[in-house]
């Protein structure tokens, strides 16, 4: 990971930087506001002001992306690291923790004119919006099949599922997008007498995309794996990578952080829950419609805290237990504790991340048949420190028949 420490006086870069003016923090929220202070044809100076409108001390971490062609030459008031175009800033020794109702700032000299994008403050929106973002892609459309008529050709598939809701499906013929539909079929005129690969993926309202379902009527069995993704730019919010290639079609990518599977998508980026500080290994594996998988593209990075950051992790959730009805499974546990405060809980099935909750309850549909069913739960705080997992595995019998 490319890293640079930021502790430059304003005189060192030939720019006069005024201290941040006194500001009133947004009540009940922590925010980070960007201001472009001065600019010219090849660069600018910019500043983020962090306001703590909460009732607790704020140990802050601001993350943002810079568009291609813009880089940070120097910065002050923070320690900054970057991987590719993704930047992470944590406080210097004198401003790493902001008192309730207080504020602080950091700034930089940019080469290029692009301003910061996709800003997050401790994993949440820099605007102080508390609504949970939809970051999970839908599942892959199931059982993609072709129905050949006398004058028409129809693709049909089983509906995808999503934690919020599927908005629609994109249908591709070869590399070309031919339709966007809300249902689970698409009819077109008879294609020419040649082998064509068709792909269908589900989208939700937030733009998250499932992996593709792939079908090649009349094609030979595919035994060739996609290429390894050519690049990887990890971050503690959004992970990006380069597109793989395949002899037929890349169906999607599995995304792993320290062995935890955070999702599969046909996009070349995925947003994950805030990771916090520590050492992380990011891995991307490409796969095709036949299930062939590439070797992983992996990169290890360290996300370092400021000198006064909250290092303590929450305690492990205790008394994890299960309640079963005919239609759903409810998991409950006893709350963790933390020196600052527990922000929520990450829920996993095996290595697969299922979601985050703020309560001590997680509800999901009951599986249809007999199955070994296990859950892992860990607590996290506002800065991203995480506890160890509490785990429970049970054997679920088939639900009783509907009367």
Q: 113 is written with which tokens?
A: 């004119």
Specify burial of residue 113 (Cβ count, 10 A radius: 0-12, 13-18, 19+).
middle
Cα separation, 133 vs 105, in Å, equals: 26
Look at residues 166, 183, 215 and tell me which one is the last residue of a structural domain.
215
**pTM of the entire structure?**
0.67
Residues 337 and 252 in one domain: no
pLDDT of residue 327: 83
Q: Which residues, other chains included, contact 268 with Cβ-Cβ below 8 Å and sequence gap of 6+?
A: 229, 240, 241, 242, 243, 253
Look at residues 303, 331, 348 and tell me which one is the last residue of a structural domain.
303
- In angstroms, how far is the first alpha carbon of the chain from the final one? 60
pLDDT of residue 200: 98
Tell me the sheet residues that pair with 97.
Answer: 59
pLDDT of residue 2: 39
Q: 189 is written with which tokens?
A: 């005129």
Residues 120 and 152 in one domain: no
What's the CATH code of the domain at 29? 2.60.40.290
Task: Answer yes or no: is 225 within a domain.
Answer: no
Task: Answer yes or no: is 136 within a domain.
Answer: no
Cα separation, 44 vs 113, in Å, equals: 6
Q: What is the DSSP letter of 308?
A: T
Residues 119 and 148 in one domain: no
E-assigned strand segments in 84-150: 86-91, 97-98, 103-111, 117-121, 124-125, 142-148
pLDDT of residue 403: 60
Domain that holds residue 256: 232-303
Task: Answer yes or no: is 227 within a domain.
Answer: no
Task: Answer yes or no: is 183 within a domain.
Answer: yes
Task: Answer yes or no: is 47 within a domain.
Answer: yes
Task: Answer yes or no: is 299 within a domain.
Answer: yes
pLDDT of residue 150: 85
pLDDT of residue 402: 63
Task: Answer yes or no: is 31 within a domain.
Answer: yes
Q: 102 is written with which tokens?
A: 């207080």
Residues 103 and 28 in one domain: yes
Residues 60 and 116 in one domain: yes
Residues 18 and 96 in one domain: yes
10-residue mean pLDDT profile of the chain (403 residues): values are 34 34 53 86 90 82 87 90 85 87 91 87 69 81 93 95 91 95 94 93 93 95 96 84 96 95 95 81 96 96 69 92 87 92 88 88 82 88 85 83 65
pLDDT of residue 247: 96
Half-sphere exposure in the Cβ direction for 216 (13 Å, CA): 18
Residues 21 and 62 in one domain: yes
What's the CATH code of the domain at 367? 2.60.40.10
Residues 348 and 376 in one domain: yes
Residues 11 and 90 in one domain: yes
The total number of structural domains in the chain stands at 4
Task: Answer yes or no: is 222 within a domain.
Answer: no
């Amino acid at each position: 990971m490319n890293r640079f420490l930021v502790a430059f006086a304003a005189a060192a870069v030939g720019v006069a930087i005024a201290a941040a003016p006194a500001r009133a923090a947004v009540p009940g929220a922590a925010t980070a506001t960007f201001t472009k202070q001065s600019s010219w044809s090849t660069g600018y100076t910019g500043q983020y002001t962090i306001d703590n409108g909460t009732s607790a001390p704020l140990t802050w971490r601001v993350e943002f992306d810079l568009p291609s062609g813009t880089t940070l030459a120097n910065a002050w008031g923070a320690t900054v690291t970057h991987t590719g175009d993704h930047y992470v800033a944590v406080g210097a020794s004198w401003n790493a923790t902001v008192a309730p109702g207080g504020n602080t700032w950091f700034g930089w000299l940019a080469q290029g004119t692009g301003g910061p994008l996709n800003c997050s403050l401790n994993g949440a929106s820099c605007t102080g919006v508390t609504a949970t973002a939809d970051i999970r892609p839908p599942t892959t459309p199931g059982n993609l099949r072709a129905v050949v008529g006398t004058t028409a050709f129809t693709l049909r598939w089983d509906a995808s599922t999503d934690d919020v809701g599927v908005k629609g499906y994109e249908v591709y013929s070869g590399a070309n997008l031919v339709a966007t539909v809300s249902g689970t079929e698409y009819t077109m005129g008879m294609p020419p007498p040649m082998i064509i690969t068709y792909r269908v993926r589900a989208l939700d309202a937030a733009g998250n995309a499932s992996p593709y379902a792939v079908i090649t009527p009349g094609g030979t069995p595919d035994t060739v794996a996609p290429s390894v993704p050519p690049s990887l730019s990890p971050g503690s919010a959004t992970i990006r990578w380069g597109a793989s290639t395949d002899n037929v079609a890349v169906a999607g990518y599995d995304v792993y952080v320290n062995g935890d599977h955070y999702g599969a998508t046909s996009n070349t980026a995925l947003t994950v829950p805030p990771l916090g500080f520590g050492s992380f290994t990011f891995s991307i594996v490409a796969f095709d419609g036949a299930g062939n998988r590439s070797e992983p593209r992996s990169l290890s990075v360290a996300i370092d805290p400021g000198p006064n950051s909250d290092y303590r992790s929450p305690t492990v959730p205790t008394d994890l237990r299960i309640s079963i009805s005919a239609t759903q499974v409810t998991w409950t546990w006893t709350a963790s504790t933390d020196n600052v405060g527990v922000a929520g809980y990450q829920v996993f099935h095996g290595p697969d991340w299922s979601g985050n909750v703020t309560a001590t309850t997680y509800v999901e549909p009951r599986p249809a048949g007999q199955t070994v069913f296990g859950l892992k739960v860990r607590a996290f705080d506002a800065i991203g420190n995480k506890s160890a997992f509490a785990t429970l595995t049970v054997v679920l019998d088939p639900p009783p028949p509907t009367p």
